[in-house]
Structures are given as C-alpha cells and as structure tokens.
Homo-oligomer: A and B are copies of this chain.
Amino acid sequence: MLKRHWKTLLVSSVIVILSGIIVALLIFMKNQPPEKRGITALIEIANMEADSALWGVNFPNQYTTYLKTETNNQRTTYGGSEPFSKLDEDTRLVELFAGNPFSIDYKEDRGHRNALTDVRETKRLNDKTPASCYSCKTSDTPALWAEMGVENFSATTFKDMSYRIDQPIGCANCHEANTMRLIVTNPALDEALKKQGKNWQSFTRQEMRTLVCANCHVEYYFQGDKKVLTFPWENGTHIEDIEQYYNDYGFSDWQHKTSGAAMIKIQHPEYEMFTAGSTHFNAGVACADCHMPYTRDGSAKFSSHDVKSPLFSPAQSCGTCHTDVNYVVERVKIIQDSVHTTLLATEDALVAAIQAISQAASYASVDKAKLEEARKLHRAAQVRWDFVAAENSMGFHNPEEALRILAAATDLARQAQIKAIEAMNLQVSK
C-alpha cells in the first residue's frame, strides 16, 4: 500500500516540477527584448555620413556594385555612360547652344562615382559658378546643407566650396543612415513637392524607389541672387507647365548669341518625362526596377547599385515582367530610332529659325515687334526640343510624350522662322 502511494507521489512531484520549469521558461522568454528587424549593422553610420565606404562595411553587396559605376562605363546606341562629346556627334548642337557654355563642352554623363571628377573638369565652369552646381554631384551636400543652410551654401562659389567636398554621389544622397530608409535629401525636391501639396513622408516604398531619383534627375534652375537650387514645378511637371512657370517668373538661362532670344537650358528631366503618364510609370514600375534590378551574388539577392542603362541587363531589368526579352529590346530600338529621327528634324527646324531671325535682325527696316515674337517662338520651340534631347532615354521613358513634344517643337520652330520672315517687312516687287 505504502509502495503504491510512493509511486503516485513520485509521478505527481515530477509533473509539478516540470510544469514549474515550463512556466518559468515561458515567463523568461516573454520578458526578453524583441528581436531587431532587418540586418545587424557591423558599424554605426553617422547621420548624413558622406563616405560611402563606411556604409559599405554594413552593405558590401550594394557597395561593391555601386563601385562599378566608376569603371563600368559603356555606350549604348543613343546614350550609356561613355563620356563621348555630344557636340562632335551632332554639330547642330553648337548652333543651338550658341552663347551658352553647353556649346563649348557637352559630354554624355558617366556613372555616379565619376560625377565629382566630371563636374570639376567640365569647361562650362568659371569663377562665378555657384556652389549649387555641386548639389547633385556629391554625397557631401546633405551634411553641408544641414550645417550651412541652403542659402549660405548656394551663395558660396563653386571654387570656394571645393575644399569642403571630396566624395562623389553616394549612399547619403538617397538613404537615411542606419535605417537605410529611402529619403528625399535635396531640399529643392522637398520644397517642390510641398508646393504641389505633396508630402513624401507618406509615399510608399515603391513610390520612393522612383522619387529618390528626383533628388537629381530633374529640370532645375538657380533662383535669385543667392542661386538657390529650385525645381520649376509649381504649375506641374509637364513641359508646358514648366515653360509657363519660367515665363511667369521671367527667367532665362542665357541670351542666344545668334537669334537674341532669351533661352532656357533644360537639364536631364528624367523624372518629369517618366511620370508624365508613361506606360511603365502608370503600371507602377519604379526607376529602380529597371535601372537597379534585383541581382544575385552567390546566395545573396539584392538591388544592384551599378545604376546604368537597362540595355546592359535586359534579362534582369525587363525579364522580371516581360517574358520575351529579345522582343522588348527590339521595341526599345524601334522607339528610340523614331524619336531620334524626329529629334534631328526638330534640330534642322531650329537651326533654320535661328538663321532667319538673325537675318531679319540685320535689316534696318525690321518690324521689331514681330522679331520679338519670333524670338519667343524660338525659345518655346527649343525648350521643348531640349526637354526631349537632354532627357536620358532618347524618348524611351515615355515615347508618346517625347514624340508629342517634338512634333510641337518642330511646329513652333518653323513658326519662328515664318515670323522672322514676316518681321523682315518684305514687299511685293512691282
């Protein structure tokens, strides 16, 4: 009897002890700090750290692909990142930019890692060039803007700012340190979005994978005496909206040496062109989907930071969505050939307009009001042409928009030519 009781006692005790251990373990686990999301950083990165090599310690895959933008510069049919001279390729450009530094030096852009070298070596610089020209060429700017304030930064000359800057475009131009969140780092972009009633903090990650490119790949100008970098987006981002903004503001980049028109030089408006109802943008595709496709190195899968033309990686860039990559590459060629042919016709029309205006201006009997109208038409035509010409995709980012704009540009250029002839005040010979 005692023996039987002893056994029951033993089993009960074991159960009680085990239950206690389990409860204690559960309480212990519940009180552990929550596991950190994401990856564990090897080193801490300072806020707005300019040196991408430090970020690279934590993100070696992204960093090593980013390094390739320094040396991996090749040419595509209409672009790429080989620094060929656009002026040698197409001598009309010398006439179109007469009086503007772009008529002296206009090279194809190289990869991100070369931006600082290239901006320092361009022949477009002079002693008055403002520090604003550094805005998009270095990862030093976010910290400098925070330290100096944008106005003081802009009011400094390029030359005087040079000793504070030694990094090319890098991690800090698009990422928040440590969280690696994609962020707007350019105050001009933040300001331009605010004026449109938009707040990028509410954008989705996929939207940010396009918007961070707009930190730089946009049309801009330097506003006022302090040369503050500004995006002309108050009316919208279509070329007509931008033109209206510049006209209302009375802005011009330079006076055309031959036609005398007050001109606008457009700069790489990739973001504006792509987001103007393009098929890819409307389908939810981001810049990074094509230009920074997911890639593999061994077992690691990451977004390539060797940002370049998708024509170098169609399988990765296009193949994620399109099953027939050869077909897609052929379409790029068809589209770009059409846009290129149309672009050159616009240039011929612009050159003819410039010559007619110059001829009209040489006549003592010229109708000055009509001459001025002709110059305004020249400005309107060339700002449209340049919106397509300076945009780095030969129309592919938005084929219908590019061709629509070029058709209008040619029309306006020919109207400028006709108005110049009218201004000559010619008479029917008796």
Query: Which residues 397-430 of A sit at the B interface, judged by CB distance below 8 A?
Result: 399-401, 403-404, 406-408, 410-411, 414-415, 417-418, 421, 424-430
Q: Known: A414-B415, A417-B418, A418-B417. Is A404-B331 also a contact (CB below 8 A)?
A: no
- The answer to whether residues A345 and B408 also contact, given A279-B331, A428-B363 and a CB cut-off of 8 A, is yes
Is A327 on the interface with B (CB-CB < 8 A)? yes
Say whether A334 contacts B277, CB under 8 Å. yes
Question: Inside 8 A of A338's CB, which chain B residues have their CB?
Answer: 400-401, 403-404
A350 CB, nearest partner CB in chain B, Å: 11
Question: Chain A interface: which size bin?
Answer: 35 or more
Residues of B with C-beta under 8 A to A425: 428-429
**Which B residues lie within 8 Å of A335 (CB)?**
400
- Asked if A282 lies at the interface with its beta carbon under 8 angstroms from chain B, I say yes
Asked whether A342 is an interface residue with its Cβ less than 8 Å from the other chain, the reply is yes
Kindly supply a per-residue 1/0 record for chain A positions 76-103, scoring 1 wherever the CB is within 8 Å of any chain B CB and 0 otherwise. 0000000000000000000000000000
Copies of this chain, whole number = 2
Q: Closest CB of chain B to A309's CB: distance in Å?
A: 19
A382 to chain B, nearest CB (A): 15
- Complex CA gap A264/B418 in Å reads 26
Complex Cα gap A52–B345 (Å): 51
Residue of B nearest to A395 (CB): B400
Q: Is A283 an interface residue (CB 8 A)?
A: yes
Specify which of A327, A365, A406, A410 lies most central, judged by the most chain B CB atoms within 10 Å of its CB.
A410
CA distance A418 to B374 in the complex (A): 14
Separation in Å of the A54 CB from the closest CB of chain B?
43
Q: How far is the CA of A408 from the CA of B343 in the complex (A)?
A: 10
CB neighbours of A345 from chain B (8 A): 407-408, 411
Convert A285-316 into 0s and 1s, putting 1 for each residue whose CB lies closer than 8 angstroms to a CB of B. Answer: 00000000000000000000000000000000
